[in-house]
Structure 1
Amino acid sequence: MPEEHSHVHQHGATVQDEHGATARHPRHTGDADHAAQHGDHGSHGAHGGRGGHDKHAGHSPAMFRDRFWLSLLLAIPVVLTSHMIMDWFGYELDFTGIDWVGPVLGTVIFFYGGWPFVVGAIAEARSRQPGMMLLIGMAITVAFVASWTATLDWFDVEVWWELSLLIVIMLLGHWMEMRAIGQAQGALAALAELLPDEADRVTADGDVETVKIAELAVGDVVLVRPGARVPADGTIVDGTAELDESMITGESNPVAKSEGDPVVAASVAADGSIRVRVDAIGDDTALAGIQRLVAEAQESKSRSQVLADRAAALLFYVAIVVAAITVVVWALLGDPDHAVTQSVTVLIIACPHALGLAIPLVTSISTSKSARNGILVKDRLALERMRNVDAVLFDKTGTLTKGEHAVTGVAAAEVAGADGAGAADSVLAVAAAVEADSEHPLARAIVAAARERSLDVPSAAGFRSMTGRGVQADVDGATVAVGGPAMLRELQVDVPAELGGTIEEWQGRGAAVLHVFRDGSVIGALALEDQIRPESRAAVEALHRLGVKVAMITGDARQVADAVAKEIGIDEVFAEVLPEDKDSAVIDLQRRGHTVAMVGDGVNDAPALARADVGIAIGAGTDVAMESAGIVLASDDPRAVVAVRRLSAASYRKMLQNLWWAAGYNLAAIPLAAGVLAWAGFVLPMAVGAVLMSLSTIVVAANAQLLRRVDLRQRDESVPQPA
């Protein structure tokens, strides 16, 4: 903009334009410089040390899946031939060898399906860090040994069917857990498969040749026909089309694109044919960058998962102590057989069926739901913290605004030769004629405005750029120039009085003002401003409904920031902030007692993103921004921040509900199995305990499924207010 109100932009180098305005190059979200640099995740079949299952390093989701299905298949005849099950359901099976179905298949299930837990239990025992694996390993081992003693007629504690179902459920839980960690990555890997194998490359002489994707190079121009997928990140050089970018952003509505707009690999040209200049290929594309970024989520471990692990460790000690007390007490009461039976019952019931599923199921569903809504969670702790955020600090340019100028006002002087709207249209048309050959963002905004109004733009000749002052060309036999205050001073021309008030109003709200000259006289003026995203007001209003304070930070002048804040309802503004001082605003809010989420997309936002309690990179922005953020939003829509908070609250609520239910069952069932109410004539039978254990698992699974019903896009009154 003109020097009186030039902006300091947060991302991208500032450039001195030919109008004497300092303006930012438009942000190309698909450019190579926006690909995330987070290290290639490659294959992640082994998850050792991640996500709460570090005691079975080297095990993949596929391994647990295969063992689950085969163990389930083998468990069916074990359950059906159990005399206890037949008595419950009133049916009878009898054939030669029926009494050996349980021992034989149960043994196979133990050594095949249960072996990962035994190995994990040994690892936890050696490290003296008891947890879920040791508890599971102990329970299945005790059940296995007890069942064989019953088979050999030593004791009457046969639980082959319970052992089989116990292993099957634990395999399901760990399969869900490991699959959840790679859920977003798996979804994005599937996106990569959507890329076409071949592309139509336009040769230097204008012919079209079909080539393999691997043969494309930066600078090539490819033809994307209607219904086809864009083969690589690039910029449209010819044509218009609506592109379906739902695979990247989660937004179902196609986005209109025209010449100069960026496009992302794998998006679909819904209508129209476009020619795209390739800007990034292979690992440099935005899609590949996001895939690498998601790998970092594997390094994080949620507080809820840590809580589940601690609960498992507590249950282990409780089970051991209670089992020991049970043996001693019942032995002293003169019933050694009952002492063994009840102590075994205690150890088996202590196995955390429901606890093993409590967190993995919620994580799996929330990860899948977030990926479908364009939310990529790098750090699960960040997602959990988001529910407590009571202040959101938005970067302005490129986040609340589009980072692109648009014509917001046209005024004509009396010398323009027409009245009212006709005069304004005439001024805009001749300005567009001069700017037609310029590639500057302000020039494109002027041409776009004339096109939107369907104006008859005359042809221009002799285009000349005058760096720092403006541009000039010959239009209909007259010399027409477009420029800022520097051109006014150079031509020693005064602004007509009738334009003075309008221009002052524009400048008062921080708009860039360009004057239009014809043969040395000012015939009009144009106001250009950074476009506010239409979704920004809705995002701010939604956050306000949740009791969240909304602040905005920018390097722009105070009047620019205040104008934007007033329009969309911002509570507090940090303006004219130097890039290196952005994190100080976060510190300021934190010192006032706020839990702060910072939302930005630029290099200069990285320190603030890292400083905030939750860093959110919006629109898959720059490498550094995504490096510093815990959550990355694939779209540019600021309303997604509200969706993150709703998802955080809903997920955490479900996790705690499941943990309380799962752990509560165990803590109640263990003493009952030990015989704490034996004086009243009640001792929890193993069979009843097994049934209650299965019911608790069903309750946990059903409760987790309710998370699918949470609407992230609409107002959710059930979201709790921050403490």
Structure 2
Amino acid sequence: MQHTYHIHGMSCNGCRNHVEETLLKVTGVSKAMVNLEKAEATIEMKQHIPLAKFQKSLKDDGGRYSIHNQGEQQHHLEPKKEKQPQGKSTGTFYCPMQCEGDKTYDKQGDCPVCGMDLVPLQVDLSAEDSSANGQESTYKLLLKKFWVASVFTLPVFLIAMSDMLANNSLYSIMKQQYWNWVQFVLSIPVVFYAAWMFFERAYRSIKTWHLNMFTLIGIGAGVAWCFSVFGLVFPDFFPQQFKTESGAVHVYFEATTVILTLVLLGQLLEARAHNKTNSAVKELLKLAPNKAVKMVDGEEVEVGIDSIALHDILKVKPGDKIPVDGTITEGESSIDESMITGEPIPVIKKMGDKVSSGTINGNQSFLIKAEKVGSDTLLSQIIHMVNEASRSRAPIQNLADKVSGYFVPTVVAISVLTFIFWAIWGPEPAYVYALVNAIAVLIIACPCALGLATPMSVMVGVGKGAQNGVLIKNAEALEKMNTVNTLIVDKTGTMTEGKPTVEKVGVLDSGFTERDILQYIVSLNAHSEHPLAEATVKYGKVHNVKILKSFHFKAITGKGVEASISNNHVALGNSKMMSYAQVEMTINVIEAAKTFQKQGKTVSFLALDKKVVGYVVIGDKLKDTSAKAVKALQSKGIDVIMLTGDNHNTAQAVASELNLTHFKAGMLPEDKLKAVEKLQAKGKVVAMAGDGINDAPALAKSDVGIAMGTGTDVAIESAMITLIKGDLQGLVKAKYLSEAVMKNIKQNLFFALIYNAIGVPIAAGVLFPFFGILLSPMIAALAMSFSSVSVITNALRLRTIKIST
């Protein structure tokens, strides 16, 4: 039988997966499917299971989610508000281990699943101060606890180590039993203040059965401390082999305090290193100016950035940062856009050109009209996208998660077997050896490095891409880009500059003049947003052409436009548009266009009442970097294919110039989509680069959609990677970046796995029979702490890699 219930409290795929796993564990459930969008769980069971059983299962798991019948009131079943983290993108903190996917939390503290310190998330420009303060406060708190632990641990350590001296002068002051009591008192602030959070996290991990590094630390250090306290209070309970010559039981207060202090040091170093992984976002945040100069009735008024509204006129002085996205209305200057595009050479901007917030003005003043302000600016969107991508999960992380799920129970089992083995076959005092080695196994086998291996590399890699004008929407894009072997590119705006200009207006009917043809073309295109249409309208304005009224305007995607003008049916577009409008194309008309098309030009035909009367020739120069980028991609083994809606002759001319052997012309949006599907059916991993609305379906269908930042919002929304400069050279950067990040992730996973593969057997005492080597729990704690730091340090190397050719 099958029942559907409502689930309350989910906000991300991490929640969905977690609820699904919890429900599947309920006895009698054969299948459970959870839908995040509908907030529903469909459960298949052999026989009816009471709802209360599912409710108890979710409650025992931590109470973050609740389940009830469809339509039932929720207020009796909702978990306490303080336990329920906020949904995706509403909070300002997240777990670096990504335990619940991309979920964020309102309050700073511990992850409710793994116990790691939640990391501040810089969501937007206004959140910079609060996020920075949150991260700084975490670091300062850890630093304070570390110093407290160090102050009390040092004397404990010295007292314990004095035992190794032949004539211990401390015992002349008082007996060993009393010094053990001193160690106990000194250990209390370390255990119950400085490191108490580790035991809380260990308890939570066992309660929710999300076993992690704190499970091992809590059990290991807790057993050592409790054993010592018990031995101190009830020494007669233990056999002689547990006692020293003075009759006092061996205590491990020094091992407990040193282990906890070293783990604190590891957490402190992680907090410091993790702070560096966000450096790219912080550098972007610094780009945003706080003030701007606004023109009010001809006067310059300094205002706060939050006071700027759409269409305000702002003055940008030499050396100033541009405050918002806008268009230059007066003046010109050179703009340093390197912080957004990654290109070091300043760009000359003139009247009518667009400028972006955060870029730096050169040595001339100019006026701009504000077109995007606040969170709508390019800089804000970049910061938001970088934050989102930094928290996303790469598919390769599923492997690490799967290994971690079995890892902790396996380590606990190895620790128990280690104790049994040493207790039975170990030298005297056998139980002492057994206890120490069992604790060493628990402490050294930290899965934290394994959990951090992927997210740290992704975070640094995404930031590196943003600094070089490559915006990564999610970690999956980075991983897939590494395996791409086929690239589909559009022509206009991708291979070419996307700034078409009218080169000729031709007349094919003696009843019309060139100006008449131009007037019809401009009047039709005045309603279109296509780049080619904008070029003709701009050309018409230069020639003072009057725009005629048009009715029933209609744009035919991939073909052209049509409308009624002066009681005539007018159509403008390519040969497919002429067929759509039932216009006959004579040989003379076709031949007139071929000459220009073979030069790589685009020809649009104008038809009045089903007769071609003229045409317009539009040229679009190839980008200087297109040929170099294509060559670099081909050298990487990527097959580059150009699909364009333009005619065959024009496409062939462009393909020849770029040394492309594969291209297709006359491609409509559905044709590009089918081309992607056909290549994928052959087993190809396909990336698609485009900039127009007509590219959006293919971008969404491809394995990796790549949008030109100079293109339409629809194309950018459909893509997984955005090249801010709208340059194929950015695609080469994306390829190099993906290779570097995936290599770094694999290195991190190797380090983490090989470290545990070697460390656990040594801690268990496998070298003792051959070399007499045993690993102290204190050394194990030090090695464990630095394993996580080594993973983060390796990830930080990505900041220095070169991803441009």
- Structure 1 residues 317-356: aligned runs within 5 Å: 317-333=409-425, 335-352=430-447, 354-355=449-450
**Alpha-carbon deviation of 1:712?**
0.5
Taking the aligned partners of 2:338 and 2:657, their CA distance within structure 1 comes to 29
Q: Does the 8 A contact of 1:221 with 1:277 survive in 2? A: yes
Taking the aligned partners of 2:269 and 2:485, their CA distance within structure 1 comes to 37
**Alpha-carbon deviation of 1:380?**
0.9
Alignment of 1:166 onto 2:263: yes
Between stretches 168-177 and 660-669, larger displacement belongs to 168-177
Work out which of the residue numbers 105, 125, 138 in structure 1 matches 2:206.
125
Taking the aligned partners of 1:210 and 1:691, their CA distance within structure 2 comes to 55
Taking the aligned partners of 2:573 and 2:707, their CA distance within structure 1 comes to 37
- Structure 1 residues 481-520: aligned runs within 5 Å: 504-512=594-602
- Structure 1 residues 44-193: aligned runs within 5 Å: 44-47=92-95, 49-50=100-101, 54-56=113-115, 59-61=118-120, 62=135, 64-74=138-148, 76-77=150-151, 82-83=157-158, 107-111=188-192, 114-142=195-223, 145=226, 154-157=249-252, 158-159=254-255, 160-173=257-270, 176=273, 180=277, 185-191=281-287
Partner of 1:442: 535
Taking the aligned partners of 1:538 and 1:98, their CA distance within structure 2 comes to 75
Taking the aligned partners of 2:403 and 2:483, their CA distance within structure 1 comes to 24
**Alpha-carbon deviation of 1:646?**
1.6
Q: Does the 8 A contact of 1:549 with 1:571 survive in 2? A: no
Residue correspondences, number: 598
SS of residue paired to 2:321: coil
Between stretches 550-559 and 348-357, larger displacement belongs to 348-357
- Structure 1 residues 156-305: aligned runs within 5 Å: 156-157=251-252, 158-159=254-255, 160-173=257-270, 176=273, 180=277, 185-191=281-287, 194-201=288-295, 203=297, 206-297=298-389, 300-305=392-397
CA deviations 1:494-538 (Å, max 9, x no partner) are: xxx9xx9997532323424799xxxxxxxxx99641222212122
Partner of 2:581: none
Partner of 1:647: 737
- Structure 1 residues 371-390: aligned runs within 5 Å: 371-390=466-485
Long gaps (5+) in structure 1: 1-38, 412-426, 449-459, 470-483, 487-496, 516-524, 715-723
Taking the aligned partners of 2:100 and 2:616, their CA distance within structure 1 comes to 60
Q: Does the 8 A contact of 1:80 with 1:86 survive in 2? A: no
Q: Does the 8 A contact of 2:453 with 2:749 survive in 1? A: yes
Taking the aligned partners of 1:210 and 1:293, their CA distance within structure 2 comes to 30
- Shift in CA distance, 409/666, structure 1 to aligned 2, threshold 3 Å: same
Alignment of 1:588 onto 2:660: no
- Shift in CA distance, 131/393, structure 1 to aligned 2, threshold 3 Å: farther
CA deviations 1:656-690 (Å, max 9, x no partner) are: 22222222222222223223344435352315545
Alignment of 1:665 onto 2:755: yes
Residue type at the aligned position of 1:387: N
CA RMSD of aligned residues (A): 4.5
Partner of 1:522: none
Long gaps (5+) in structure 2: 1-86, 104-110, 121-134, 234-247, 507-513, 527-532, 551-571, 575-587, 606-614
SS of residue paired to 1:713: coil
Taking the aligned partners of 2:91 and 2:732, their CA distance within structure 1 comes to 33
Partner of 1:472: none
Q: Does the 8 A contact of 2:149 with 2:189 survive in 1? A: no
**Alpha-carbon deviation of 1:594?**
1.3
Alignment of 1:710 onto 2:805: no
Partner of 1:538: 628
Between stretches 248-257 and 699-708, larger displacement belongs to 699-708
Taking the aligned partners of 2:220 and 2:139, their CA distance within structure 1 comes to 21
- Shift in CA distance, 121/598, structure 1 to aligned 2, threshold 3 Å: farther
Higher RCO, 1 or 2 (CA under 8 Å, sep at least 6)?
Answer: 1
Q: Does the 8 A contact of 1:304 with 1:656 survive in 2? A: no
Q: Percent identity?
A: 33
**Alpha-carbon deviation of 1:711?**
1.0
Residue type at the aligned position of 1:403: G
- Shift in CA distance, 330/99, structure 1 to aligned 2, threshold 3 Å: closer
**Alpha-carbon deviation of 1:645?**
1.8
Taking the aligned partners of 2:159 and 2:713, their CA distance within structure 1 comes to 61
- Shift in CA distance, 167/209, structure 1 to aligned 2, threshold 3 Å: closer
Between stretches 309-318 and 698-707, larger displacement belongs to 698-707
Q: Does the 8 A contact of 1:650 with 1:707 survive in 2? A: yes
Q: Does the 8 A contact of 1:396 with 1:554 survive in 2? A: yes
- Shift in CA distance, 595/121, structure 1 to aligned 2, threshold 3 Å: farther
Taking the aligned partners of 1:399 and 1:94, their CA distance within structure 2 comes to 81
Between stretches 657-666 and 57-66, larger displacement belongs to 57-66
- Structure 1 residues 462-611: aligned runs within 5 Å: 463-465=544-546, 504-512=594-602, 528-611=618-701
SS of residue paired to 1:617: strand
SS of residue paired to 1:393: strand
- Shift in CA distance, 596/664, structure 1 to aligned 2, threshold 3 Å: same
Q: Does the 8 A contact of 1:233 with 1:281 survive in 2? A: yes
SS of residue paired to 1:388: coil
**Alpha-carbon deviation of 1:443?**
6.3
Partner of 2:124: none
Q: Does the 8 A contact of 2:263 with 2:781 survive in 1? A: no
CA deviations 1:207-247 (Å, max 9, x no partner) are: 55544444443333333222223332221222211112233
Taking the aligned partners of 1:249 and 1:143, their CA distance within structure 2 comes to 56
Q: Does the 8 A contact of 1:654 with 1:704 survive in 2? A: yes
Taking the aligned partners of 1:228 and 1:677, their CA distance within structure 2 comes to 65
CA deviations 1:250-300 (Å, max 9, x no partner) are: 322211111221111232221222222222222332233333434432652
- Shift in CA distance, 597/248, structure 1 to aligned 2, threshold 3 Å: same
- Shift in CA distance, 231/585, structure 1 to aligned 2, threshold 3 Å: same
- Shift in CA distance, 222/657, structure 1 to aligned 2, threshold 3 Å: closer
- Structure 1 residues 358-369: aligned runs within 5 Å: 358-359=453-454, 361-369=456-464
Taking the aligned partners of 1:557 and 1:94, their CA distance within structure 2 comes to 96
Q: Does the 8 A contact of 2:212 with 2:447 survive in 1? A: no
**TM-score with structure 2 length normalisation?**
0.64
- Shift in CA distance, 692/214, structure 1 to aligned 2, threshold 3 Å: closer
Taking the aligned partners of 1:675 and 1:283, their CA distance within structure 2 comes to 58
Residue type at the aligned position of 1:163: L
**TM-score with structure 1 length normalisation?**
0.71
- Shift in CA distance, 705/195, structure 1 to aligned 2, threshold 3 Å: closer
SS of residue paired to 1:400: coil
**Alpha-carbon deviation of 1:176?**
4.9
**Alpha-carbon deviation of 1:713?**
0.8
Taking the aligned partners of 1:631 and 1:101, their CA distance within structure 2 comes to 61
**Alpha-carbon deviation of 1:694?**
6.2
Q: Does the 8 A contact of 2:487 with 2:638 survive in 1? A: yes
**Alpha-carbon deviation of 1:183?**
5.9
Taking the aligned partners of 1:103 and 1:643, their CA distance within structure 2 comes to 58
Work out which of the residue numbers 761, 769, 772 in structure 2 matches 1:682.
772
